[in-house]
Amino acid sequence: DTGVSQNPRHKITKRGQNVTFRCDPISEHNRLYWYRQTLGQGPEFLTYFQNEAQLEKSRLLSDRFSAERPKGSFSTLEIQRTEQGDSAMYLCASSFDFVTGTSTDTQYFGPGTRLTVL
Amino acid sequence: DAKTTQPNSMESNEEEPVHLPCNHSTISGTDYIHWYRQLPSQGPEYVIHGLTSNVNNRMASLAIAEDRKSSTLILHRATLRDAAVYYCILRRSGNTGKLIFGQGTTLQVKP
């Protein structure tokens, strides 16, 4: 078990460009979450997948953001037409919930992708 | 979702116990109390969780008030590696399980 991995670890882009991040969860984990963290703040929830289904999206996730989890394995988060306000650490977490809806599952976080928009 | 209140920062000496408080006066009966911590330059990591009874694991202990309106994370012997931001989070049973992080408590451990 290698833990949750995220790629790339760092991304620098110019305003207006599109970027895509990848998250590989722990094998067999059925839940996958994306969070965003800006300097000095706690992480903020962005979106959640149960297997391949995207079941919740935060209001923070504007139309420029899209996330997928094909086949319920890895996930991608794409940001189109990046803005300087998108600069943040993007964290992915995965968990396994034996019984849907108990909210006792432990979330395992990856190291994050730090995005800098110039 | 119910809100939690934590002190912004705390200090401790190495090898001494640390008690990190959390107030959650609007907690509901189905809310679990979770603690995560975030070491510098890392993603958050799970510490402990509980519902009503006190809980112990290899990392820490969680003491929950009888009325559940507050809780305390106890690190029995702080080490330098325990310097981190500690988040107290309420997770409602039946929802997606998303974590709603507050500002957390920044713990400094002095040698």
DSSP letter for each residue of B82-97: G-EEEEEEEEETTS--
B53-91 burial by CB neighbour count: b if 16+ within 10 A, else e?
eebeeeebbbbbeeebebbbbebeebeeebbbbbbbbbb
Per residue of chain B (111 residues), give pLDDT as tens: 668 999 999 999 999 999 999 999 999 888 899 999 999 989 999 999 999 999 999 999 999 999 999 999 999 999 999 999 999 999 887 667 789 999 999 999 999
pLDDT tens string A62-73: 899 999 999 889
Distance CA A39, CA A32 (A): 23
CA nearest to B47, candidates B67, B24, B76: B76
Q: Which strand (E) or helix (H) includes residue A56?
A: strand A53-57
Shortest CA gap B43–chain A (Å):
5
Cβ neighbours of B43 in A, within 8 Å: 4, 91, 93, 109-112
Provide the pLDDT confidence category of residue A105 given band limits of 50, 70 and 90: confident
Shortest CA gap A21–chain B (Å):
16
Asked whether the beta carbons of residue A48 and residue B44 sit closer than 8 angstroms, the reply is no
Distance CA B69, CA B27 (A): 6
Cβ neighbours of A31 in B, within 8 Å: 97
Which pLDDT score, from 0 to 100, does residue A25 have?
Answer: 96
Shortest CA gap B111–chain A (Å):
24
Asked whether the beta carbons of residue A112 and residue B43 sit closer than 8 angstroms, the reply is yes
pLDDT tens string A8-33: 999 999 999 999 999 999 998 999 99
Locate tokens 């000095």: which residue? A40
Chain B touched by A55 (CB under 8 Å): yes
